[in-house]
Amino acid sequence: MIYTVTFNPALDYAVSVNEVSLGLTNRSTDEYIQTGGKGINVSVMLKNLGYDNTALGFIGGFTGQEIKKRVIESGCKCDFIEVDGLSRINIKIKSGSETEVNASGPMISEQAVSQLMEKIRKLHEGDCLVLAGSVSKGIPDTIYADIIKNTDKNVRVITDAAGNLLLNAIKEKPFLIKPNNYELSQIAGTDIGNDRKKALEYADILHEMGAENVLISFAGDGAAFSSASGLKLEADAPQGVVVDSVGAGDSMVAGFIAGWEESHDYAHAFKMGIASGSASTFSLGFAGRDKAEEIYKQINI
C-alpha cells in the first residue's frame, strides 16, 4: 500500500480577477475550491493513475471535515487525525500572474504526532510512504527525519520538502527526494538555474548525504534524475498549453511512484513522472492516466 502524509492540509480557494485593485472591492470572474497540501495532491494523482493509497495527516474543524470529504470523493482512502483548531484555507488570486496567501494552520500537539507515528510504525515491506510539504506550527524541522528513523527500513520513503526539513531527512537515507531547481540551489549554495547537467553534479552530493535517488524538477525546462548507482537521466518538458501549474510537482512524484510500482525501472518511472506532471499542468485539476500516457510517448531521455 502507498501512504501519503500531509501535516498541514488545506482548502485552496482560487479566484480569477481581471485586474486587482488594492484597497478596493474586486469582483471575481471565476472561482473554485480544491483540496491542497502536497501529500494529498500526490494521493489524488496516484488514484487518477490507478493506484489505491491512504492519505494520513492532521485535520481540524469544519475545513478539516471538508478536506476529508473531498479526499474520499476523489477515491482515496484516508486515516486523518483530528486536532483542535481549523485546517487552512489558502487563497490563490489569478490575475495574469498568480498571488498566493497561505494560512498557518492549527497547532499539532505531541500527542497527535505520537498517534501518527503509531500508524506509520505499522507499515511493512512493500509499502511506500510519501512525506510531502511543509509542517504545522510547533513541529520541529527534524520531524521527517524522525519519521524515517521510526519506519521499517524495508518501506520505500519518498520526501518532497524544502530547507532543513529536507536536509535532515536526507541523513536517514530516503528512497527518493524531489527538490526543484530552486530548492536544490538553496542546498548547493549556488544558482543552478535551468542547467540540468549542473544539477546532476550537485545530486552526487545529495547521494553522499544519504539520498538513494534524486528527482529534480525544472518546471517548463524539464527534469533530471540521478541514482546512487550512477544512473543519470534528463529530459525536456513536453510541449503543451499550460492551464494550471498547481500540483504539477506533486503529480510528478505520483507519476514516478506509479512508474516504479509497475516496472521497477528508473527510466520508466522518470518518464512517467514527467508525463504525469505535464499532464496535470495542461489540465484544470489533476490529469487522468490516459492523458499521462499520451504525453509519455513524447518524452525522450
- The catalytic residue among 236, 250, 265, 290 is 250
* Bridge partner residues of 90 (DSSP): 12
Q: 117: which 3 cell numbers?
A: 507515528
**CB atoms closer than 10 angstroms to residue 136:** 24
Question: What does the alpha-carbon distance between residue 131 and residue 156 come to, in Å, rounded to a whole number?
Answer: 11
* Bridge partner residues of 180 (DSSP): 217
**Of 70, 71, 63, which Cα lies nearest the Cα of 43?**
71
Known active-site residue 12: no
**Inter-axis angle of helices 196-209 and 181-188, nearest 10:** 60
Question: What does the alpha-carbon distance between residue 159 and residue 146 come to, in Å, rounded to a whole number?
Answer: 13
Return the amino acid letter for 170.
Answer: I
DSSP string, 130-175: EEES---TT--TTHHHHHHHTS-TTSEEEEE--HHHHHHHHTT--S
Question: What does the alpha-carbon distance between residue 123 and residue 3 come to, in Å, rounded to a whole number?
Answer: 9
Quote the DSSP letter at residue 174.
Answer: -
Mark 104-125 as b/e (b = at least 16 C-beta within 10 Å): ebbebeeebbeebeeebeebee
Q: Can you tell me whether residue 227 is helix, strand or coil? A: strand
Question: What does the alpha-carbon distance between residue 79 and residue 72 come to, in Å, rounded to a whole number?
Answer: 10
Active site residues: 250
